[in-house]
Amino acid sequence: MSDICKNFTAYPAPCSYEFECRDDCRLKIYEGQDSDVFGKYIDNLKNDGLNLISYREIQGNIFAAFTGKANLTLLYTPCDKTVRLTASRENRFPSFTKQDCKGNGQTKFYAFENDQTLIDCGMCLMIQCPDDSFFLVDSGHYLQMNDNDRIHKFMRDRTPEGKKIVINGWFITHAHSDHISKLIDFLKYNTDDVIIEGFYENLLPCDYPNSDWEFEEKELARKLFRVLDGYPAPVYKLHTGEKFYVRNLSFEVLSTFEDIIPEFIDDYNDSSTVLMLEAENTKIFIPGDAAVKADRIMLRRYREPLECDIVQVSHHGHTGLSAEMYEKLSAKVSVFPVTRIFFEDEYDRNDANRKAVEIADEHFVTGDGTIEITLPYKTGSAKALPDETFEDFAKIKRLWRYDYPKERMDRLYKTFLSNSGSLENTLIPASPEGWIEPKPPTDE
């Protein structure tokens, strides 16, 4: 990889740290720099014959991207006087040009209700554009057995008859199983009537020595990388500072794992790529499972407010972003991709969750049903669609050793019914008591 750096003028300072990213991409970090040297270096790269395709500032942070003999991104962050440069042979840039979106439909945001019959995690978001195409974020867990079919059916029901489902982009926040498993299954089983125009990601290499990232998770990530490499659609690699466009949607990349390096990423959730989506004058903050270190970096870099209308609460409302970050975002709607049980369990002991709810005009839990918001967002316009799944408490106890008082199970079941839930319509049989009775004790 080092020979690619011979195709452009070296940065005029010693390199503090290098890291081999995926996709034949090298990250170089230069500490103790100032903006004047950075600006002169941009001019040097132009003189090298490289083509400047993007240059922009976000709250004083300067981003530039070049193509030509090498494909480069540069990010200068004044808070720590650091330059981050990535170099690669292959052009994996998304579109930096605004796009037309011809169609008569409305732009709609959906926080999809993953099937949480057996597990509380999983996340899938969708935005449908005026031309009926969809932009997807993540998918779901392998224990959400039918969710690849449910995701397909959801889009099929909202695509005009006789037309193929068009996925204009599929963004992968990070490669944990509850975010990528159903994408892998979807690509294997559900693409006969589907066009996928591209994937968007910046995923941590599988050889990264993170003990929090278990063997099973790493093998699943390797499988995802093989599937994406073999699928006939481009894979766009995202870097902090980029502003890219898909149909009538614009995206700002606010953080990737590259921003944490050289500090060790001990929580794999911190490898999540963080986006701010804007459509129809509505901003939606999508952090995936970004956690403590990503939170700290964003708070330091973006000292002014990052105000948005809708926030996806990080890491399902478990340990994720800070209360200070939710205050900076000041979202009118907070969406928790989790079950009602875990939302209640986490709420009293999680300051960040309470702050997200306190600031918002309304909050939703996807376990109560898919959330639908027509854009532009207007206060009170968000709604929950009928609840499609219900926890099987006996199976949950068998799998995870969680146990709940009967009074609580009955209350949650009544909530399910009040959300227009119907056990006859669930894809996996469930009941308040569960279909697998606990085994009787033995004398052994």
pLDDT tens, 311-346? 999 999 998 999 999 999 999 999 999 999 999 999
- What is the distance between the alpha carbons of residues 298 and 320, in angstroms, rounded to a whole number? 13
Q: Greatest CA separation found in the chain? A: 82
Going by C-beta distance under 8 Å and a sequence separation of 6 or more, which residues neighbour residue 387?
A: 113, 367, 368, 369, 416, 419, 420, 421
Going by C-beta distance under 8 Å and a sequence separation of 6 or more, which residues neighbour residue 431?
A: 392, 423
Answer yes or no: is pLDDT of 439 > 50: no
Residue pLDDT, tens place only, 140-177: 999 998 999 999 999 999 999 999 999 999 999 999 99
- What is the distance between the alpha carbons of residues 107 and 116, in angstroms, rounded to a whole number? 27
What would the two tokens of residue 360 be? 């918002």
Paired with 372 in beta bridges are: 110, 383
What would the two tokens of residue 72 be? 């480069």
Least confident of 49-58, 65-74, 144-153, 385-394: 385-394
Residue pLDDT, tens place only, 192-246: 999 999 999 999 999 998 877 788 899 999 999 999 999 999 999 999 999 999 9
Sketch out the chain's domains with CATH numbers: 2-88 (no CATH), 107-384 (3.60.15.10)
Q: Could you give the strand order of the β-sheet that contains 333-336, starting from the edge strand earlier in sequence?
A: 243-246, 249-255, 274-279, 282-286, 310-312, 333-336, 362-365
- Give pTM, 2 decimals: 0.94
- What is the distance between the alpha carbons of residues 362 and 368, in angstroms, rounded to a whole number? 14
What pLDDT score was predicted for residue 403? 85
